[in-house]
Structure 1
Amino acid sequence: MSESQFVSLPVSSGVSSQNAEIISANQPKTRRPRSSPGLYLIKTGSAYMFQMRLPKAIAGEVKRPIRVGLGVIPKPQARKIADKLATIAREKFERIEIAMSKANNDENGFWPLMEDMLGGDVDGLDEEAKGKRAWQAVTMSLKSALYDISSPPPPSTAEEEGNFAMMRGLVQIAQEKARKDAGEDYNKALGDNAELLARRLVERAKDDPVSLLMPPLGGGSIGKGKISARAGLVNAKVKTEVDKDRRFVEREPSDKPLFSIAASEYLAQRVTAMGEASGDIKTAEMRLNIFVELIGDHPIDRYTPTDLQAFINLMQFWPSKHNDKPSHLSAREIIDSNRDFSKKSIAKNTLQNGFMGVIKPVFSNAATQHDFDNPVKNVALKYPKAARDAVSAEPLSAKKLTQLFRTGVQSPYIDDVMMPLLGLLTSRRLGLLTHLVGTDITEKFDGIWVAEVEGIAMVGGKWVRRPIKTTESGRYFVLHNFLVEIGYVEWARKQGDNFLFPQLMQLANPAKNASKYMRRLFDKAGIKDSPGERFHSLRGDYISQAREDKKIGERERRMQAGHALGGDDHNKYGWKTLTESEAEMFATLPLNPKIDFSMFRDLDFDQLAKTRRRPEDL
């Protein structure tokens, strides 16, 4: 690995250039002036900063030096810290250079080493991108090392050392037991008596952990003392960076905007794309404000992956129900009230796709707008087991579908009556069906009616935006002939540029309220024993029924359901929408004879659409 002896001296604003004379790992022969801080150091006001450049072999086009703030400390202390950081940096440089020089099929594992050093998937990156990754990897390593240097842990007590010894003993026992189970050579004294020895070791640590520091009896065999794992588990609960209150963690100065400003800019772009009244925007605002309340409002480029992990660790205690999150309590008070999980926990999907799905884009958007390296790019986060897994939708029996339809038809509201039937006969999402207008429905082929929902549509004489989840959702889908037979298609066409569910569309968040009303309808129909039986089940039932028709292939089912075309590249060629013959198969798909559909005939759709919900039904 090579480094140039002399380097250029550009520095960021606020850093004195006269003190940034050299940042090379090789000391020049010329004498430095007495006022110079020394190698790898510059001074900004009264504070010192470590500074070093990446070697050319791994830097690519990256000219930006690595800088780590040391704070206001005595010069001798800054000098010692700088020397230690330089040693760590050179070791990192060497490892990265070795990784970059190896072939993809190298038996020592080129890609795993690169991804370990540089973070995330590096396959396909050019040299400049790899240089940026290298800069990020070394910078984060030095910041972590600085914390260890500045705040070394206190020496362990005899009791703590005893606990460590207990844990080492348990690991040794487990290893011999694993070798035995795998059919390998093993220590019979340990492997054959693993459970008994572990239990004794744990009890011994409980009664007298210091005794574990005594030499083992019998020339290396484990003694007969009592042991307990509880002492070791207590010792394992040592606070780390992720456990700190991230609101008050010291961060380096920055000229980049605060997270709150960057988040507001991001939301403004979404408002432009989706419309200010979108419920998604309000949900995003709520989630981003919770992040700021828990982690703090810092310069956008001064966050680290640790901040995101700390947020997730806190949010595992976030209650799942709205009533358990009173507005007069702060976010931390709400979390503290549920540390025993008595109010249930947030779903993993909500954390992973809901909260992180809006927090991470703020960083990526700001990195582009304000020219800095995204500090949380490609970060791998761990989600606690306490976070509930998503409940998969389950199929509904013909008996339950009949119960659901009958309960809906007895309602005076058109969404209760028609939404379940549309869900079953179209396989489309509830949010999309909620935003249907009469002009969406057209006769695409002779006798075959379809609906096509565009993102921008004329509604009531005004152009409005409608939330379309994916590009595929905007493709037309076939309406079953049964909807034509009962007169629904004719009635829907007469509504022109008005919504087909007008009462829902007068609410602040139509799709969210539609989901709430559907859950009530399922409960009223007696379908409430399994959380997997819900409106989304109707979509799955339709797709499953279409799968049973051997003439309808997977590609056609995906287009009708609004899914992306899967499979290989060959499968993605051809029309991106259903052809006439394909559409005809969906329009005439046989109805399940076990379900009573006759109740949908002779309905007064005009009266149903006019009926407003009573206050008690809202």
Structure 2
Amino acid sequence: MYLWKRDNGFTYQQRIPASVESKFGKSPIRVNLGPLSAADARKRAIILSGAAMQLMDDPDMTRETLVYSLRALNEELKAIKSARFSKGFEAYGVSKRRDEFAEMGADEAALDQERKLAVVDAERGVLASFHKRLETIADAMSKDSIAWEAERGTYQSVVALLGSLDRQQNAITVGPTLTTAVTMARRPPMPFPSPAVVKSAESVAIESYTDVTDPRAFTPETKFGVAGRVILDARRAALDITDKDRGRYEERLEATFAAFLEVIGDHPLKYYVPLHLQDFATVLGKVPTNRTKYPIFKGLTLEAMGRKNDALPEGKRIRRLSRTTVKEHITQIKLIWQKATAGVIGVRDIRSFDVTMPASAAAPIDREGLPIASLNKWLADIVTPKIMGKPHKAWLPLVGYLTGMRLAEIVYLQSSDIVTIDGNEVFDLRLPLIIGGKKVDRQLKTKTSVRVVAIHPLLRECGFIDFAKKQRGRGGFIFPHYHRSKDPADTAQKQMANWMIALGIHETQRQVFHSLRHNAKAWFRIHAGDGLADKQCGHAASSVGAKYGFKALEPEEIEKIMSIPAPRGIDFMPLITWHQAQ
């Protein structure tokens, strides 16, 4: 064996033993190993040398097949190294998509990515172990004949696995990827077939398409519109769409899918390239927000809407979609694409493309808590006869601020949700709703929303707890007025927005009812720490370590939240005085 380096990398040369010169000729065999480190090139050469010696023992082996087999084996060894890098890159992409879905509240999609990440990590581990085993074999072969004989059986199995050359003839069990365990059978070497009969795994898979019977077994020729439609229908069939939040997310997926097909077109799966995601994002960056509310955009395509909006006078232009919204649309298309192309050979993985957010899109609005002056103005207005005459409206801001609950959680509260844990009253959102005498699953945004919410003493001092416990009729809801509408949370949201606008404390998307949740989170964080603030508000833990322990607040934690001082600068006296006068 001889090894030297050239401009294009290392070259391995194997001399022909005198005993077989008559069969293979005197000239040595050379294989270009490509760019490698000196250590890796030496190990690669040792493995190829062992394979050459083994193949030369075969009475049916020819020089042409020998050279071809060594070159093919070298390519397979390259593939292992490439696969390890590819799996590392894939793991990064999957974890990134998981985090994106988690931020969007798409728990099912995030969990799907979590499972995929576990599979990818397992594959990375197997590839690393496989590569280490190859190095062990190389070390054994480089020592002496005794060590080589001890490793010969293992070596033969590894070569058989790597060499796609003998997949058609050898009885070694190998799954669809290198993650499948190698059958470590001790058997004599099998002859390699000639290049003419070698078939790649991809060509075999493509041929197998002719045997499919299930119409959902997509091929590269299947149109994305067809494949995506099947995926979305399957999701709807599997999920509980009666869940309003889940239903809305599925509707957003539908709208995003339709928009992508409109902008890029409905083509066979093999047509799409990663740059189409960038094209889609660029168009969305000019689309006006809430476009369906404006008659001037009726009947126009998304691209035409963008042009129409740009042509309006500057003061009359509609705000464009935000970069956050554009990013969400891209993430949703990646989700649909992932499921539509699973198992389809011959299509590009467009999900790995890092889309540049268009500068034309509106900057995201950072929602924040309400200023102290706005909060005091709002709380003072609650006790006015006009507002307190509508208690279903009056109590919402106070409950939102002192509990950190979402508006959709508050309007579905029932008096039976107020329970006592170790002497302390709490809202138990783990309980089902009781509607018409039947238990109904509570519709909450995320898994972490299923929780216990501590009731701060201020809620009792201001009179809300006494009011809530008296609401026994009309379904047992504390705020039954909103349940006359089809969407109680939406009705309450509009009423709160109108109230804030009337008080002059509303700012579109920035200063809204949900801002109270920001105020509450900051208050809890200051006095009880991040962990308890997350559990009280139903936010996911920020780290793996933070997830340890109990999901719901423990009695000691409830007491700690109940004992924190009132928010600084906030005047609750108008409400306390009103309650004492009742």
TM over 0.5: yes
In structure 1, C-alpha distance between the alignment counterparts of 2:444 and 2:345, rounded to whole Å? 31
Kept in 1, the 8 Å contact 2:426–2:454? The answer is yes
Structure 1 equivalent of residue 563 of structure 2: 588
C-alpha spacing 1:523/1:560, structure 2 compared with 1 (3 Å): same
Structure 1 equivalent of residue 524 of structure 2: 546
In structure 2, C-alpha distance between the alignment counterparts of 1:264 and 1:325, rounded to whole Å? 31
In structure 1, C-alpha distance between the alignment counterparts of 2:391 and 2:334, rounded to whole Å? 39
In structure 1, C-alpha distance between the alignment counterparts of 2:263 and 2:532, rounded to whole Å? 47
In structure 2, C-alpha distance between the alignment counterparts of 1:360 and 1:498, rounded to whole Å? 43
Structure 2 equivalent of residue 560 of structure 1: 536
Structure 1 equivalent of residue 370 of structure 2: 396
Which of 469, 478, 483 aligns to 1:505? It is 483
**Tell me, which stretches of 5 or more residues in structure 2 are unaligned?**
1-8, 10-43, 45-72, 96-119, 128-175, 181-201, 204-218
SS at match of 1:344: coil
Give the counterpart letter for 1:425 in structure 2: L
In structure 2, C-alpha distance between the alignment counterparts of 1:118 and 1:544, rounded to whole Å? 32
In the TM superposition, what are the counterparts of 1:184-583 in structure 2 within 5 Å? 253-254=221-222, 257-272=226-241, 274=243, 278-298=247-267, 303-322=272-291, 323-324=293-294, 328-332=298-302, 333-339=304-310, 342-353=317-328, 355-367=329-341, 375-409=349-383, 410-411=386-387, 412-446=389-423, 448-454=424-430, 457-495=433-471, 497-528=475-506, 532-549=510-527, 552-567=528-543, 569=545, 571-583=546-558
C-alpha spacing 1:276/1:544, structure 2 compared with 1 (3 Å): closer
In structure 2, C-alpha distance between the alignment counterparts of 1:120 and 1:546, rounded to whole Å? 33
In structure 2, C-alpha distance between the alignment counterparts of 1:591 and 1:118, rounded to whole Å? 44
Q: Deviations over 1:557-588 (max 9, x none)?
A: 2211212223452x433322222222112223
Kept in 2, the 8 Å contact 1:304–1:376? The answer is yes
Kept in 1, the 8 Å contact 2:411–2:489? The answer is yes
C-alpha spacing 1:453/1:378, structure 2 compared with 1 (3 Å): farther
Q: Deviations over 1:223-243 (max 9, x none)?
A: xxxxxxxxxxxxxxxxxxxxx
Normalising by the residue count of structure 1, what TM-score does the alignment of the two structures yield? 0.53
In structure 1, C-alpha distance between the alignment counterparts of 2:230 and 2:83, rounded to whole Å? 44
C-alpha spacing 1:252/1:579, structure 2 compared with 1 (3 Å): closer
| 1:273 Cα offset (Å) | 6.9
In structure 2, C-alpha distance between the alignment counterparts of 1:474 and 1:129, rounded to whole Å? 40
Give the counterpart letter for 1:584 in structure 2: E
C-alpha spacing 1:597/1:308, structure 2 compared with 1 (3 Å): same
In structure 2, C-alpha distance between the alignment counterparts of 1:283 and 1:102, rounded to whole Å? 37
Q: Greater shift after overlay, 487-496 or 468-477?
A: 487-496
Greater relative contact order structure (CA < 8 Å, 6+ sep): 2
SS at match of 1:421: helix
Q: Deviations over 1:326-372 (max 9, x none)?
A: 6732333323312458322101222222x335433333444569999
Kept in 2, the 8 Å contact 1:434–1:511? The answer is yes
After superposing on structure 2, the runs of 4+ consecutive aligned residues of structure 1 that deviate more than 6 Å are 93-97, 116-123, 128-132, 369-374
C-alpha spacing 1:303/1:435, structure 2 compared with 1 (3 Å): farther
| 1:316 Cα offset (Å) | 0.9
**Tell me, which stretches of 5 or more residues in structure 1 are unaligned?**
2-56, 58-92, 105-109, 133-137, 140-250, 605-618
| 1:462 Cα offset (Å) | 4.6
In structure 1, C-alpha distance between the alignment counterparts of 2:288 and 2:504, rounded to whole Å? 26
In structure 2, C-alpha distance between the alignment counterparts of 1:566 and 1:398, rounded to whole Å? 28
Kept in 2, the 8 Å contact 1:408–1:521? The answer is no
Q: Deviations over 1:359-405 (max 9, x none)?
A: 33333444569999784444422211222232223333322101122
| 1:319 Cα offset (Å) | 0.8
Give the counterpart letter for 1:310 in structure 2: D
SS at match of 2:309: coil
In structure 1, C-alpha distance between the alignment counterparts of 2:414 and 2:343, rounded to whole Å? 38
Q: % of aligned pairs identical?
A: 24
Kept in 2, the 8 Å contact 1:402–1:596? The answer is yes
Structure 2 equivalent of residue 8 of structure 1: none
In the TM superposition, what are the counterparts of 1:105-254 in structure 2 within 5 Å? 115=89, 125-126=123-124, 127=127, 253-254=221-222
In structure 2, C-alpha distance between the alignment counterparts of 1:262 and 1:365, rounded to whole Å? 7
C-alpha spacing 1:311/1:463, structure 2 compared with 1 (3 Å): farther
Q: How many correspondences in the alignment?
A: 388
| 1:478 Cα offset (Å) | 0.7
Kept in 2, the 8 Å contact 1:300–1:363? The answer is no
SS at match of 1:521: helix
Structure 2 equivalent of residue 600 of structure 1: 575
